[in-house]
Amino acid sequence: MMSSRAGSVLLRRAGSRLFTAAAVSPAAASRPLLAGGNNVVQAVMVRLMSTSSPAAVSEATKDEAAKASKEGGDKKAVVINSYWGIEQNNKLVRDDGTEWKWTCFRPWETYTADTSIDLTRHHELKTLMDKIAYWTVKSLRFPTDIFFQRRYGCRAMMLETVAAVPGMVGGMLLHLRSLRRFEQSGGWIRALLEEAENERMHLMTFMEVAKPRWYERALVITVQGVFFNAYFLGYLLSPKFAHRVVGYLEEEAIHSYTEYLKDVEAGKIENVPAPAIAIDYWRLPANATLKDVVTVVRADEAHHRDVNHFASDIHCQGMQLKQSPAPIGYH
């Protein structure tokens, strides 16, 4: 208590001397800096003014940014100066020379989907593991049919939030295994992470088509939390079972997208223009529609079906994934 009073008294006395410096005589003002004239007071005042609060600095930065924004017109690109020497390439262009506006993927990551793939291919139920995996997926389809019925836009959104999990989990666990055992993965880490990223891009596309309601977002959080942990444990216990489950899950995805296409073709769902992100990601024509988007997404799911059944077959033959080259870029 005594120290705080003493501090306040000292501050009042020092403040009165500092801020009454304007009353210094002309003679004192003419003294040199080291002689203790008015220049000393001015130097102190400059020092005090330079120690601005973070809020003041932030406001100044905002003013400068606003000014730069006005001068730059409609330009949205933000250039961040960094000590670390990381260069930002903001001048990416498409094949036709127009500006590339996406930061979530680059032009060299785009591709043309192979829609000629066999959509009817099915892994026959041969072992007890196959039957358990198949009926596990079928049991998950039942509540989905009840909840979404024929609202395929929202159904696709929910499907992709689940379908993007296995590749990330499998890639992560193979990555940790590679580190523990000092061994290569045969390219399977990259292949599975590619699958996860591809499924995530499906989600980003359907977010433009179907706007999820608040309770659907809540359902996504719940389902993702449960499925991630269940699949994580399942992959630890039996990778061949986990990949077989995903293979059958992708077969169900193909069926769902086929029904989606039927409703679009029948006019039950409006065949709206394709989202811009889909046109660039799959290199679709500028006049592409929702039908084109669903077609290429279904083809991707067919490729994921093949990859996961193939991975399960490798394990079923008593080998590890690293012993067979991964189908990188298969989709």
Question: Is 71 flagged in the annotation as binding?
Answer: no
250 in a labelled binding site: yes
- Output the CA–CA distances (angstroms, integers) from residue 318 to 175, 312, 313, 314, 324, in the order listed: 20, 10, 9, 7, 12
- Which of 201, 204, 191 is closest to 322 using CA atoms? 191
The answer to whether 131 and 125 have CB atoms below 8 angstroms apart is yes
Judge contact between 132 and 240, C-beta under 8 A: no
Residue 199, SS3? helix
Phi then psi for 279, rounded to 5 degrees?
Answer: -60, -40
CB hemisphere CA count around 147 (13 angstroms): 15
- Residue whose entry in the numeric block shows the structure tokens 């499924």: 199
Does the annotation list 99 as a binding residue?
no
Using alpha carbons only, give the angle 109, 159, 310 rounded to the nearest 5 degrees.
65
Residue with tokens 């000393």: 40
- To which H or E segment does residue 129 belong? helix 128-148
Q: Is 183 annotated as a binding residue?
A: no
78-82 contact pairs (CB < 8 A, 24+): none
∠232-309-142 over CA atoms, to 5°? 65
Check whether 259 is labelled as a binding-site residue.
no
Annotated ligand binding at 243? The verdict is: no
Residues tagged in the binding site annotation? 160, 199, 202, 250, 301, 304
Give binding residues for Fe cation as ranges: 160, 199, 202, 250, 301, 304
